[in-house]
Structure 1
Amino acid sequence: MTQSPDWVRLQKALSVEAEYGFTDLVGKQYRFSEFLCLSFGQTPTVITALERRRWQEMASQFARYPQLTLLERQHLVAEASQFIQQIEQGSAGAQGRRGAGEKMYNQQSKTQVKQPPTTPIVKTNSEANSGYSSNLSLDQPLANVAEIGVRKGGYLTKLNLYTVRDLLFYYPRDHIDYARQVNISELEAGETVTLVGKIKSCNCFTTQKNNKLTILELVITDQSGRIKLSRFFAGNRYSNRGWQEALKRRYESGSIVAASGLVKKNKYGLTLDNPEIEVLAHPEDTIDSLNIGRVVPVYPLTEGVPADMVRQAVTAVLPAAAQLKDPLPSVIRNQYGLVGLKDAIANIHFPSDSAAKEAARRRLVFDEFFYLQLGFLQRRQALRQVQNSAILLPAGKLIEEFEQILPFKLTNAQQRVINDILNDLQKPTPMNRLVQGDVGSGKTVVAVIAILAAVQSGYQGALMAPTEVLAEQHYRKLVSWFNLLHLPVELLTGSTKTAKRRQIHAQLETGELSLLVGTHALIQDPVNFHKLGLVVIDEQHRFGVHQRARLLSKGEQPHVLTMTATPIPRTLALTLHGDLDVSQIDELPPGRQAIYTTALTGKERNNAYDLIRREIAEGRQVYVVLPLIEESEKLDLRSAVDEHQHLSESIFPEFQVGLLHGRMSSAEKDEVINAFRDNKTQIIVSTTVIEVGVDVPNATVMMIENAERFGLSQLHQLRGRVGRGSHRSYCLLMSSSTTPDARQRLNVLEQSQDGFFIAEMDMRLRGPGEVLGTRQSGLADFALASLVEDQEVLQIARDAAEKIILRDGNLEKLPLLQAELDYRYQKLMGGAILT
């Protein structure tokens, strides 16, 4: 490895290959790809460490040459020729060779021009030099960065990386610490370490049993012992004779190497698991590798994009971080102890130590939260500047009459939330308030008072629910109240008959109809309100952004009240509803009893059946909920259809057992629910369609099959279907799972009735995207931030954003911050924020 390659022969081989159409020509001794692989196996002694890595990489690339496409071969040949020129020009005594090299390269460049217009034209050396890191711009395409090039740039587009800025902000998902250097005798399984030693022997071979598996075996020694290391290469291209010989020459006996990896124990003793290895000039030589002897970044990857390629590309563009302007005012950085943006970017990729990595991560997590909160608060401020919403009367005859007909007294929490709402409604600024309340806390009564405030002020109201079952439940309850108040209310769903639908449309347009309850049918074009003043949206996270927008467009800046029976942890509420005013009904009505909750195994099923028989004998009713409609071939789960047959024929033949699931028509659902409500059916077997909307105070048992398959918040919602009357109620969580995680989750339900605590635990155990029962919930797509681990950073980010908006709401004095907000907020939320 001490002699330099024959530059002229290399350039001539490249030129001839280009002239003959990149066909991997066969020479007297070798194919073109084998010759290049062998040639690049001879590392020149007069090149820099960075050039040495790139030179060695060329050997691997030419080993794969037969498998490359025509375009990839063209790029590789051009890149190799250009690289050789650069080395020649930087080497002493290269003047005599340069003329021949340039002539060869120019011939090859001309050949490239003859290719179809879609093939990129190879740049001259002077053009390429203008793209080196020292002259990088943040918006420069990665393909124009000399150390990356068109071919690697093409691979990086698979990760949606197109510019230098994209790559700088492509954060690692983890880091591996190889910074600790040890002797061979000090190795302990489970540690990540680096060792330096001398190669005792090297062997590289394709296995006889599998011709697609090639193994490199090295025996390394130091003053304390010896170790055998193996690297595995899967694929036909690695069985190439030239590639294997080049690899063996790189790791010649007597060479000094550094190796990093995870220490594992196998039948031969301790080893490093598929280690990273670099050849050193001497034992005290500096380790130049991106993967060895340091904290190594681990990036999110996709098929066909190797980790080393991303690390090398990041290293190439990292100097451009110096051009970054920090939009965050220094007063904010100092107040919250945040490092500068340039340092954060540098240390999130290649940190000097763990402290630098943590400081970098904290700053970048802050940024993700901060710009989201800043966008929320700016939108809320803009909304508050609107002064053309309906002014609704906070007091009046209708509200007084409604409070008189209620058979119960409002709780303090309900009264507090009602006051918040009525204060909002008497302002010309449109209300945008979220009411959170646990199951059974009385959110509907609060919404009715808001609707009555609109009606008594001469406006109409609309209430939209996500399912027909829930819409019908709201309608049934509202009709009973509105009839006593002599107010009209109608229900509009997909099942509404055409004649009735036309009647509703007509009454809406004349203003005759005060309140319309419905599903997404409310947002259809024929629905036109005469004077819409208030929109109530129940379980709003179940609606899409555009659905909510279309409903709001039915009026001119209507007030908006959203409700959810899914308690949301504060951190989740900030990131999902950061532009809303939030009220919580954190008190249950008097008389509501705690629901006895227990997790049972299959062996205890008969105990559950005995409890059900006792409750039905007392005149009570039972829910049995399952996750599936029909039996799944892949999952061993009890299905609703099969369980209904099993219970009605084998277990409870003396009782009436109903079946309810989402595939039934609205008429069929109504029939089943009405039969259960009238106690004609004692047991109802259902999927989670029962989760919201079915209110039967006589039901006292909720039995949930395969409970481990549900989220905690969903289980809590299901549990809330019982305990609505004066009798003691039970929730039986049936689970055959013995995993610690499943047991831990079900224990939370056994120990707590607090929906907000349960939601917090659900978020910690399963992640925020699952708490809402849907991944399409409008959550921001964070690259680094975790709503579970970074709650403290989220809070200070919210505080900082509030201070900024308070001082300069339009960010007129902070143009850099506004520009970054425009870019970040749209990218983070996909331009889809609308509450």
Structure 2
Amino acid sequence: MSTEFPDWTRLQKALAVEAENGFTDLQGNQYRFSEFLCLSLGKTPNGLLPVERRKWQSIAAEFERYHHQTVEARQHLVVDTRQFLYKLQQELQRREREKTHPPQTSMVKSPQTTPLVAETSKVNVNFTLDSPLSELPDIGRRRSDYLGRLGVYTVRDMLYYYPRDHIDYARQVNVKDLVAGETVTVVGTVKRCNCFTSPRNKKLSIFELLIKDSTGQLKLNRFFAGNRFSHRGWQEQQKRRYPAGAIVAASGLVKKNKYGITLDTPEIEVLDHLGGSIDSLKIGRVMPVYPLTEGVPADWVRQAVMAALPAVNQLQEPLPKGMRQQYDLMGVSDAIANLHFPTDTDTLSRARRRLVFDEFFYLQLGFLQRRKMQQQVQSSAILAPTGKLIDRFYQLLPFELTSAQKRVVNDILNDLQQPTPMNRLVQGDVGSGKTVVAVIAILAAIQSGYQAALMAPTEVLAEQHYRKLVSWFNLLHLPVELLTGSVKVKKRREIHSQLETGELPLLVGTHALIQDPVNFQRLGLVVIDEQHRFGVEQRAQLQQKGQSPHVLTLTATPIPRTLALTLHGDLDVSQIDELPPGRQNIHTSVLTGKERQNAYDLMRREIAQGRQVYIVLPLIEESEKLDVRSAVEEHQRLSESIFPQFQVGLLHGRMSSAEKDEALNAFRDNQTQIIVSTTVIEVGVDVPNATVMMIENAERFGLSQLHQLRGRVGRGSHQSYCLLMSGSKTDTARQRLGVLEQSQDGFFISEMDMRFRGPGEVLGRRQSGLADFALASLVEDQEVLNLARDAAEKIVLEDKALENLPLVKAELDYRYSKLMGGAILT
């Protein structure tokens, strides 16, 4: 390995081979895989930024523990390392190119781009952060009205109107060094300029500029549509602006066409003299690209930001100096100025890092303060962790709890003994045994003289819970009832009455629990299953049915730690990261239409052995727009043409509750061997005899949702299969579905799902509690999120009321409700 840079190819090959061999810490001729990685990463390359150096050293330290890690942890590490090394190699090569190919021209000295941030900081301004935009120089009332369409009204709004992207025109190159696909700036002298009306289209004017430097010449074109550009006077004016011999700077995306190399829609500026400065807001610099709306051109936004920029000096720095030094953070004024108009990409990276840190920091600080407030609430329900009910339940169980279940049960029972209400989230993969853990918490409430409520998002899942709980509660001689939208009026009244008198210790239900006039006599515990499907307000409504009851939320949709911190930063999180013994891995295959017959043959063999089959489709009825199989059509085709010898059932969301029950019961009792369904069976349906899950048009589902569906099989002792039928031929779709072939780990799958689709879609739909960040990315900025959480925890530990940090408190009050759209404060 070079003392300067690692052997990238060798490293990536080693990582790829380890992944192909199932993360076994492969033994090579000289070293184990982990030993080779430790040696290769042992010396940190020169020229890394602080954030890159820290990440490098962190990965190197992880590989020292690789041999002792679980397979899932190894998967995470190898995937992260491959992505990090790839991005780092690209970035270091880019920096090396800039060093080895500086702009050189014998005719023109390299011009200097005017440092906008430095210049604006010296300007005396007669406006404040709260001044309306109309008071800014060259903006006025008319333009400020248009800018209001973007939701910006004041100078402060303008400063915090962050770019959505940047184009790097800062790199100046010679004509001979132009490479298609790069954004660059070229400086040269004008050889010829022409402007004329297109002979084919009288409304189209063509501007041509030929420039040259010491290495070659470059032809630039711009096109102007409209009658006013066809006017001879306007065209002559353009030619006079760029006379032969004038020195110009041109920036744009390098493109290659049949006529050779050029710049796409170039920005051009005439320089005053040899080596003159570039004053443009675009040319020769890292140019900000802002979100726009109709009627508001990009130049207006850039000019308004430029006019507002001197006011950055009025921003107060909330974070203490020691904290900024500890976390290597740029000052807030410099960060905002350099996010808009950075001098180079490294400065932009540092500026963005500070502002991303702020977004995460104030969110986490708000979560932690909210948690402190919750802990100050005195709950009337102090529940006994031991008793006859829990002892009897342990005796009834035909199995012993896993060590992970025991650990989570201890977490919960410790919480229930506290005078402050529990607020705990239990994450567990499909089949990890979350329900048993919840039952122990429910029994703790009942044996202490309190009632409990369990709310599920769908009737299918609520009925599944009810059926399982009844089988246990009957043996414990405890009543339990089910309340859903399908329950008759007479039965509802009976349930309401039993709750008010305290006769009914446990109620299971759907949204009906909060929509009905349900009044508990003494509600001590609320259990919410698949909690991400409920809005914040819905969860809060159920909690308000009692006097500060303990809250236990469950999810079978494991989510990455970064997403958990932004969704559940105010919750205690426990993970059931172990499956019960005897569970076999589900054999998962991605198939194309050509292999469909193989899938049908597998189903026939499994049914011949007494097993059953799920077939899941994304739609209920045929769609003219989407070429996907529908549940109704596919049910008919399979029944009549493919499996006429078997009973084929149908289940979808538009069926009535009675029809759903009938279809599910027939499948549970093996009266139907195949059930064609939509994703209504995603969670809760438990048929141990089912061994095949075929998912049509699997590329249309998220990975986490596919993992949930796969979890409907493999619940018994027989080998099970998941067949992912894909109609897409794209590499991305194949790569996504390949993750499920490689892994059974829900946390790893959700991490990859977030990388492929983004955090907003990981949970299957937009999550109402997900923070709306202006800059931060939960995929790219995980390290910064962890640092921000660490900083927030230290501050709350030392000064939970923020009495010694009034500027931090003021910023928190301003940002927190705005960032979370007010929902998190419910």
TM-score by length of 1: 0.82
Select 1:200's aligned residue among 186, 191, 200: 191
Kindly state the Cα deviation for residue 762 of structure 1 after the two structures are TM-superposed. 1.1
Name the amino acid aligned to 2:774: A
Kindly state the Cα deviation for residue 212 of structure 1 after the two structures are TM-superposed. 5.0
Contact 2:189 2:213 in 1 (8 A): yes
Give the match for residue 429 of structure 2.
Answer: 438
Kindly state the Cα deviation for residue 211 of structure 1 after the two structures are TM-superposed. 5.1
Give the match for residue 370 of structure 1.
Answer: 361
After superposition, residues 44-55 of structure 1 pair within 5 angstroms as none
Give the match for residue 815 of structure 2.
Answer: 824
**SS at structure 1 position matched to 2:823:** coil
2:650 matches 1:688: no
Give the match for residue 631 of structure 2.
Answer: 640
2:256 matches 1:250: no
2:345 matches 1:354: yes
Once the two structures are superposed, residues 633-684 of structure 1 have per-residue CA deviations (whole angstroms, 9 ceiling, x without a partner) of: 2221111111111111110011111111111111111111111111111000
Once the two structures are superposed, residues 232-257 of structure 1 have per-residue CA deviations (whole angstroms, 9 ceiling, x without a partner) of: 23455645666545444433444332
2:760 matches 1:785: no
In 2: Cα distance, 1:537 partner to 1:654 partner: 42
Give the match for residue 586 of structure 1.
Answer: 577
Kindly state the Cα deviation for residue 345 of structure 1 after the two structures are TM-superposed. 1.0
Once the two structures are superposed, residues 85-126 of structure 1 have per-residue CA deviations (whole angstroms, 9 ceiling, x without a partner) of: xxxxxxxxxxxxxxxxxxxxxxxxxxxxxxxxxxxxxxxxxx
Give the match for residue 620 of structure 1.
Answer: 611
Kindly state the Cα deviation for residue 208 of structure 1 after the two structures are TM-superposed. 5.0
After superposition, residues 454-603 of structure 1 pair within 5 angstroms as 454-603=445-594
Name the amino acid aligned to 1:721: R
Name the amino acid aligned to 2:465: H
Give the match for residue 424 of structure 1.
Answer: 415
Change in Cα spacing, 1:814 to 1:271, as seen in structure 2 (3 Å) is same
Contact 1:197 1:283 in 2 (8 A): no
**SS at structure 2 position matched to 1:134:** coil
Kindly state the Cα deviation for residue 204 of structure 1 after the two structures are TM-superposed. 3.3
In 2: Cα distance, 1:389 partner to 1:208 partner: 86
Give the match for residue 129 of structure 1.
Answer: none
In 1: Cα distance, 2:229 partner to 2:464 partner: 66
Select 1:409's aligned residue among 397, 400, 408: 400
Contact 2:127 2:135 in 1 (8 A): no
In 1: Cα distance, 2:224 partner to 2:294 partner: 16
Change in Cα spacing, 1:279 to 1:647, as seen in structure 2 (3 Å) is same
CA RMSD, 1 decimal: 1.9
Give the match for residue 141 of structure 2.
Answer: 150
After superposition, residues 99-114 of structure 1 pair within 5 angstroms as none
After superposition, residues 85-164 of structure 1 pair within 5 angstroms as 134-164=125-155
Once the two structures are superposed, residues 584-627 of structure 1 have per-residue CA deviations (whole angstroms, 9 ceiling, x without a partner) of: 01111111111111111111111100000011011110000011
**SS at structure 1 position matched to 2:149:** helix
In 2: Cα distance, 1:238 partner to 1:420 partner: 73
Change in Cα spacing, 1:199 to 1:821, as seen in structure 2 (3 Å) is same
In 2: Cα distance, 1:304 partner to 1:797 partner: 38
Kindly state the Cα deviation for residue 341 of structure 1 after the two structures are TM-superposed. 0.7
**SS at structure 1 position matched to 2:824:** coil
Once the two structures are superposed, residues 298-354 of structure 1 have per-residue CA deviations (whole angstroms, 9 ceiling, x without a partner) of: 222223322222111111111110111111111211111111111111111111122
Contact 1:549 1:834 in 2 (8 A): no
In 1: Cα distance, 2:421 partner to 2:757 partner: 36
Give the match for residue 184 of structure 1.
Answer: 175
Contact 1:769 1:777 in 2 (8 A): no
Give the match for residue 117 of structure 1.
Answer: none
Contact 1:488 1:515 in 2 (8 A): yes
Name the amino acid aligned to 1:432: N
**SS at structure 2 position matched to 1:135:** coil
Unpaired stretches in structure 1, ≥5 consecutive residues: 1-48, 54-131
In 1: Cα distance, 2:223 partner to 2:135 partner: 33
Farther-moved stretch of structure 1 (149-158 vs 726-735): 149-158
Contact 2:379 2:549 in 1 (8 A): no
Name the amino acid aligned to 1:689: V
Give the match for residue 833 of structure 1.
Answer: 824
Select 2:259's aligned residue among 268, 272, 276: 268
Change in Cα spacing, 1:342 to 1:199, as seen in structure 2 (3 Å) is same
**SS at structure 2 position matched to 1:747:** helix
In 2: Cα distance, 1:412 partner to 1:153 partner: 63
2:759 matches 1:768: yes
2:736 matches 1:735: no
In 1: Cα distance, 2:226 partner to 2:574 partner: 60
Change in Cα spacing, 1:664 to 1:209, as seen in structure 2 (3 Å) is farther
In 2: Cα distance, 1:150 partner to 1:793 partner: 40
2:717 matches 1:712: no
2:809 matches 1:806: no
Contact 2:817 2:825 in 1 (8 A): no
Change in Cα spacing, 1:242 to 1:542, as seen in structure 2 (3 Å) is farther
Kindly state the Cα deviation for residue 297 of structure 1 after the two structures are TM-superposed. 1.4
In 2: Cα distance, 1:378 partner to 1:391 partner: 23
**SS at structure 2 position matched to 1:833:** helix
In 2: Cα distance, 1:494 partner to 1:234 partner: 61
After superposition, residues 60-79 of structure 1 pair within 5 angstroms as none
Give the match for residue 607 of structure 1.
Answer: 598
Name the amino acid aligned to 1:815: P
Kindly state the Cα deviation for residue 264 of structure 1 after the two structures are TM-superposed. 0.9
Give the match for residue 61 of structure 1.
Answer: none
Give the match for residue 298 of structure 1.
Answer: 289
Once the two structures are superposed, residues 348-391 of structure 1 have per-residue CA deviations (whole angstroms, 9 ceiling, x without a partner) of: 11111222111111111111110000000000011101113411
In 2: Cα distance, 1:214 partner to 1:822 partner: 54
**SS at structure 2 position matched to 1:275:** strand
TM-score by length of 2: 0.83
Kindly state the Cα deviation for residue 404 of structure 1 after the two structures are TM-superposed. 1.0
- When Rg is computed on C-alpha atoms for both structures, the one with the higher figure is 1
In 1: Cα distance, 2:509 partner to 2:588 partner: 34
In 2: Cα distance, 1:419 partner to 1:307 partner: 58
Kindly state the Cα deviation for residue 797 of structure 1 after the two structures are TM-superposed. 0.5
Change in Cα spacing, 1:212 to 1:401, as seen in structure 2 (3 Å) is farther
In 1: Cα distance, 2:316 partner to 2:528 partner: 42
**SS at structure 1 position matched to 2:265:** coil
Change in Cα spacing, 1:243 to 1:693, as seen in structure 2 (3 Å) is farther
Name the amino acid aligned to 1:624: I
Unpaired stretches in structure 2, ≥5 consecutive residues: 1-111, 117-122
Change in Cα spacing, 1:752 to 1:478, as seen in structure 2 (3 Å) is same
Kindly state the Cα deviation for residue 216 of structure 1 after the two structures are TM-superposed. 2.2
After superposition, residues 290-329 of structure 1 pair within 5 angstroms as 290-329=281-320
Give the match for residue 450 of structure 1.
Answer: 441
Change in Cα spacing, 1:331 to 1:604, as seen in structure 2 (3 Å) is same
In 2: Cα distance, 1:242 partner to 1:509 partner: 87
Contact 2:426 2:553 in 1 (8 A): yes
In 2: Cα distance, 1:413 partner to 1:185 partner: 63
In 2: Cα distance, 1:238 partner to 1:830 partner: 46
In 1: Cα distance, 2:228 partner to 2:640 partner: 63
Change in Cα spacing, 1:628 to 1:331, as seen in structure 2 (3 Å) is same
Kindly state the Cα deviation for residue 188 of structure 1 after the two structures are TM-superposed. 2.7
In 2: Cα distance, 1:133 partner to 1:517 partner: 66
